[in-house]
Homo-oligomer: A and B are copies of this chain.
């Protein structure tokens, strides 16, 4: 986005010399916007109006659009971080000695995350299991690949039904998130419910 490096010019440092450093208020506002977006999107998901984010950040919409070209871009900035952390955690689990426990932890953590944060939920929901080859965002690829490894290892250990693909598992995990989040449940009971749902899913995944 930035047209060139802000410092070191070959010509004299006059006023017409390249772009100045970022102004302090701009940096403050961007931070405030990210914090507000984090709050708003985690509560209301991607359907939250953009004005709500600007309002809560204490800036006008114009300022929001100065920092992020579209609503999508702002949303992605938030949700990418969430997915990255899931991916990192999944990669870590993929190196654990017990493949069954690792897969179960992975599933539990994804579900718990989606149940707690509506933005993550919305992102997973619309992600669906789009053919992963067509997904360009590298953080999604990381999560997908780590999930693949976790599933394969659990299958090789004879713990999980060998006929399941990662698409199947993804659909089931996603379904578990959605079932637990469904419209009218009061949010307070979701964690407990989703725990039980993961239990049932896990039992259903067992080989034999």
Least Cβ–Cβ distance between A164 and chain B, in angstroms: 8
Least Cβ–Cβ distance between A114 and chain B, in angstroms: 11
Interface membership of A53, Cβ < 8 A: no
Interface membership of A148, Cβ < 8 A: no
Least Cβ–Cβ distance between A163 and chain B, in angstroms: 8
Chain A interface SS verdict (over half): helix
* Nearest neighbor of A194 in chain B, beta-carbon distance: B171
Interface membership of A116, Cβ < 8 A: no
Chain A contact-residue range equals 35 or more
* Nearest neighbor of A124 in chain B, beta-carbon distance: B182
Interface membership of A204, Cβ < 8 A: yes
The list of the 10 closest CB pairs from A to B, nearest first, reads A175-B179, A204-B204, A128-B182, A175-B175, A178-B178, A128-B183, A200-B204, A130-B184, A171-B179, A203-B204
Task: For the A-B complex with A175-B178, A178-B179, A200-B205 known, give 19 more contacts whose Cβ atoms are closer than 8 Å.
Answer: A125-B178, A126-B183, A126-B184, A128-B182, A128-B185, A129-B182, A129-B185, A161-B200, A164-B200, A171-B182, A171-B197, A172-B197, A172-B200, A174-B182, A175-B177, A178-B178, A199-B204, A203-B205, A203-B206
